[in-house]
């Protein structure tokens, strides 16, 4: 029910690509920074590539950003790594008991609030660019 850690890893990857843009860094290098397996990194880079956020060349190690970091929002990254683009942050449970007054009405009571929360989160993510994240990471180094 939480946002997958793929999201934070994807932001980490994109930040590394920007900070090291003068060289082609490998999935092994990125995996060392993230502290995970290179296969995980390659899978996420594939998702980012499919979303048009990175460019990769078959048979050539490394990736590069597909557009400037001030034109990549955290919402772009969030959407890129969601396993199901139709899946909402807050899912309603299936098949509540229609014989129960709560079960019969809980989904209708929650739908609007959940939709508003999803929209608010997406609006916040839309306001933050990768440039802001990279700047903050660079300042803290």
Rounded to an integer, the average pLDDT of 80-100 is: 82
In a domain, 111, yes or no: no
Structural domain contains residue 66: yes
Task: Of 60, 44, 45, give the one whose Cα is nearest residue 5.
Answer: 44
Domain presence at residue 114: no
Mean pLDDT of all residues in 82-104: 83
Can you give the residue range of the structural domain that contains 70?
6-88+129-140
Q: Is residue 104 part of a domain?
A: no
pLDDT tops 60 at residue 2: no
Whether 102 is covered by a domain: the verdict is no
110 within a domain of the structure (yes/no): no
Domain count, the chain: 1
pLDDT top residue among 62 and 19? 19
In whole angstroms, give the CA distance from residue 12 to residue 33: 9
What is the model's pTM? 0.87
Higher pLDDT, 91 or 54: 54
Render pLDDT for 48-89 as a digit per residue (tens, 0 to 9): 999 999 999 887 778 999 999 999 999 999 999 987 666 777
CATH assignment at residue 22: 1.10.10.10
Mean pLDDT of 106-128: 94
The answer as to whether 99 is a domain residue is: no
Give the pLDDT score at 58: 81
Highest-confidence segment of 60-64, 91-95, 101-105:
101-105
Tell me the percentage of the chain whose pLDDT exceeds 90.
Answer: 77
For residue 34, tell me if it sits in a domain: yes
* 1 pLDDT higher than 50: no
């Amino acid at each position: 029910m939480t946002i997958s850690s793929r999201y934070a890893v994807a932001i980490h990857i994109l930040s590394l690509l920007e900070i090291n843009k003068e060289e082609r860094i490998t999935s092994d290098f990125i995996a060392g920074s993230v502290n995970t397996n290179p296969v995980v990194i390659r899978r996420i880079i594939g998702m980012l590539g499919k979303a048009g956020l990175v460019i990769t060349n078959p048979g050539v190690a490394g990736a590069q950003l597909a557009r400037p970091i001030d034109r990549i929002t955290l919402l772009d990254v969030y959407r890129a790594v969601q396993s199901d683009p139709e899946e909402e942050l807050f899912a309603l449970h299936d098949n509540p008991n229609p014989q129960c007054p709560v079960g019969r009405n809980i989904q209708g009571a929650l739908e609007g609030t959940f939709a508003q929360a999803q929209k608010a989160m997406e609006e916040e993510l839309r306001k933050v660019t990768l440039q802001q994240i990279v700047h903050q990471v660079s300042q803290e180094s």
